[in-house]
Structure 1
Amino acid sequence: MKERQARELATLGFAGSEDTNAGRLDGLVRAIAGVGVSSAAAVAAPPRISKGKKWRDRRAQQDAEREQRIQDEQALLVSDRKVEEDVLAAKLQPLGLSLKEIKPDGHCLYRAVEDQLQLHPSAPQYSFQELRKIAAGYIREHPEDFVPFIGGDVELEDYCREIESTAAWGGQLELEALSHALQKHIFVFSAEMAIVEMGSGFQRDGTNPSIKLSYHKHAFGLGEHYNSLVPA
Structure 2
Amino acid sequence: MEELQARHRKEQRDLQSQITQKKKQASKKTRKGVSEECDRLEVGLKERHATEIAAMSGEGVGDANGQLEDLTLDGSAHEEEAPPNGTHQDENAQTKGSDLQNGDAGAQSIAKKGNRQKARLARRAAEQEELVKQAAEEAKNLPDLKQQERARMLDSMRERGLREEEIRADGHCLYSAVADQLEQLNIPIGTAPNSSPSVPVYRVVRAAAAAHIEKNRDDYEPFLEEPLLDYLHKIRDTGEWGGQLELMALAKSYGTDINVLQDFGRVEKIESGSGRSKNENDMWLGYYKHGFGLGEHYNSLRKAG
- Compared with structure 1, are the counterparts of its residues 131 and 96 closer, same or farther at alpha carbon in structure 2 (3 Å cutoff)? same
3-state DSSP of counterpart to 2:175: helix
Q: CA deviation at 1:139?
A: 0.8
User: Gaps (5+ residues) in structure 2?
Assistant: 1-139, 191-200
1:212 aligns with 2:277: no
SS at match of 2:295: coil
Corresponding residue of 1:92: 157
Give the corresponding residue for 2:244: 172
Amino acid paired to 2:154: A
After superposition, the C-alpha distances for 1:4-46 in whole angstroms (9 at most, x for unaligned) are xxxxxxxxxxxxxxxxxxxxxxxxxxxxxxxxxxxxxxxxxxx
Find the counterpart in structure 1 of residue 145 from structure 2: 80
1:124 to 180, 188, 211: 188
Give the root-mean-square deviation of aligned CA atoms: 2.4
Instruction: Give the equivalent residue in structure 1 for 2:301.
Output: 229
CA distance in 1, matches of 2:275, 2:301: 18
Q: Flag the structure with larger Rg.
A: 1
Structure showing greater relative contact order (alpha-carbon pairs closer than 8 Å, 6 or more residues apart): 1
How many aligned residue pairs are there?
A: 154
Deviations 1:136-157 (A, max 9, x none): 1111111221122222xx1111
Question: Would you say the 8 A contact 1:185–1:203 is kept in 2?
Answer: no
Identical columns (%):
38
Extract unaligned runs of 5+ from structure 1: 1-75
Aligned to 1:181: 253
Counterpart for residue 106 of structure 1 = 171
Q: For the residues of structure 1 that align with 2:177 and 2:230, how far apart are their CA atoms?
A: 24
Q: Which deviations, in whole Å up to 9, do the C-alpha atoms of 1:193-225 show, x marking residues without a partner?
A: 731111254454759711100111002242310
Asked whether the equivalents of residues 255 and 272 of structure 2 are also in contact (C-alpha less than 8 Å), the reply is no
Matches within 5 A, 1:1-232: 79-121=144-186, 123-126=187-190, 127-151=201-225, 154-192=226-264, 194-199=266-271, 201-202=273-274, 204=276, 206=278, 209-232=281-304
What per-residue deviation string (whole Å, max 9, x for no partner) do you get for residues 106-153 of structure 1? 1000000011111133x21352111101101111111221122222xx
1:133–1:163 Cα contact (<8 Å) kept? yes
Give the TM-score of the pair, scaled to structure 1.
0.61
Range that drifts further, 137-146 or 186-195: 186-195
Aligned to 1:59: none
- DSSP 3-state at the match of 1:125: coil
* Secondary structure in 1 matching 2:290: coil
Kindly provide the CA deviation profile for residues 38-58 of structure 1, in whole angstroms up to 9, marking residues without a partner as x: xxxxxxxxxxxxxxxxxxxxx
